[in-house]
Structure 1
Amino acid sequence: MSRGFVKEGDQEEPLVIPPRAILPDGVINYVTPVGFEELQEESSLLEKQYGNLEIENEIDLRREQNMIHGKIKLLKERIASARIINPEDQAQDEVRFGAQVKYKNMAAMLTQVISIVGVDEADVSKGKIAFTTPIAKALAGAKKEDVVEFKLGNEIQKLKILEINY
């Protein structure tokens, strides 16, 4: 259609669907059983939200439907690629996916507790970090009382493993 027949008010801005958490190419999408349930719940909520939209303006309705549809599509791809790892099946004496790790930063003498989870489960405010992060990679395979080195910026931090729980 020629631009001469298009009303300016009919122009829709391109839709930008926010991406999910980054999962590097070639990396398996590990998730805990709890994380997998959360992904499924999120999918159900989005599908309900899609069906319950009450927007009178046709353009706004179509835009919101497309946004939700895009989010559902990305979420379904994550669910389809998920490989559930039960933390209880991991070696209990070393840091692996699903572990809750208590460690001490030897320089700062600061003790912290983190859980190593899937990329979609990660929430730093809750102490949940993705298995793809540098600190999770540094801790992987460590055992209680081990001291591992972790590069933070230009500094090398030494972390002593105090506890490992699953």
Structure 2
Amino acid sequence: MSKAFVRESDQPNDDDEDMTLPPLPPGSKNYMTPGGYARLASEYRWLLDRERPEITAIVSWAAGNGDRSENGDYIYGKKRLREIDRRLRFLSRRLDSAEVVDPAAPRDNSHHIFFGATVCFANQTGEEKTVSIVGMDEIDPFKGYISWISPVARAFLSAQEGDTVTLRTPGGVEELDILSVSYRAIPMEPFVPPSSPRGKRENRQG
């Protein structure tokens, strides 16, 4: 059956998205860098103050244009509102539970590896890599940003320059040599709003 003709009450529960989220360790905090927090907060404000009102206006406009079951703007708008509300709830929970830690802030234990550390290490083949330990919502493999609950970050926890740590993976055990540990600002890409839904509708009408 086409989803366009399914009653709203038959749609999947909005909270189903939570089942795919990476879980926090029991009792732990949701650590996040200032840049990561700012990005989530910007997305939250944009969804709440800009996109949701625009989509609501589109739905109201489309509702007066005949049979709703064949009204593409109405069907899309209602679906998008559900997605926005689900995302807003997710962002609200993430922001409410956030423990913001600035990697660049002065610290007494700067030689040991904790959240926010940038670590250069070598694997058993001598290949050198650099990773920065960030929050779960800040992961970027292309930049070497890894979650603080990832296996690599957990293996590094509390270690320091010159240590060798053991990384256990499904593929076996690997020894990693820590070459350097530093704490500095970790750049985060800002939230970039997509094109305005109102603009898209006006383009279609034109």
Q: TM-score range by the shorter chain?
A: 0.7 to 0.9
**Residue 14 of structure 1: which of 11, 14, 20 is its match?**
11
Task: Tell me by how many angstroms 1:21 deviates.
Answer: 4.0
RMSD over equivalenced CA pairs, Å: 2.1
Q: TM-score, normalised by structure 1?
A: 0.84
User: Do structure 1's residue 92 and structure 2's residue 110 form an aligned pair?
Assistant: yes
Q: Which residue of 1 aligns with 2:190?
A: none
Give the distance between the partners of 2:27 and 2:38, measured in 1 at CA: 23
Unaligned stretches of 5+ in structure 1? 1-7
Amino acid at match of 1:26: G
Unaligned stretches of 5+ in structure 2? 63-72, 184-206
Which 10-residue stretch deviates more, 42-51 or 71-80?
42-51
Q: TM-score, normalised by structure 2?
A: 0.69
Deviations 1:24-73 (A, max 9, x none): 34321111111111111121232222222246432321221111011011
**Residue 51 of structure 1: which of 38, 45, 53 is its match?**
53
Superposition map of 1:1-166 within 5 A = 9=5, 11-12=7-8, 14-15=11-12, 18-19=17-18, 21-24=21-24, 25-47=26-48, 48-53=50-55, 54=58, 56=62, 57-87=73-103, 88-90=105-107, 91-105=109-123, 107-166=124-183
Deviations 1:130-155 (A, max 9, x none): 11111101001111111111112241
Identity of aligned residues (%): 27
Amino acid at match of 1:23: P
- How many matched pairs? 158
Q: Which residue of 1 aligns with 2:197?
A: none
**When you count helix as a share of all residues, which structure comes out higher?**
2
Amino acid at match of 2:177: K
Task: Tell me by how many angstroms 1:10 deviates.
Answer: 5.5
* Cα distance change of structure 1 residues 92 and 80 upon mapping to structure 2, 3 Å threshold: same
Amino acid at match of 1:14: Q
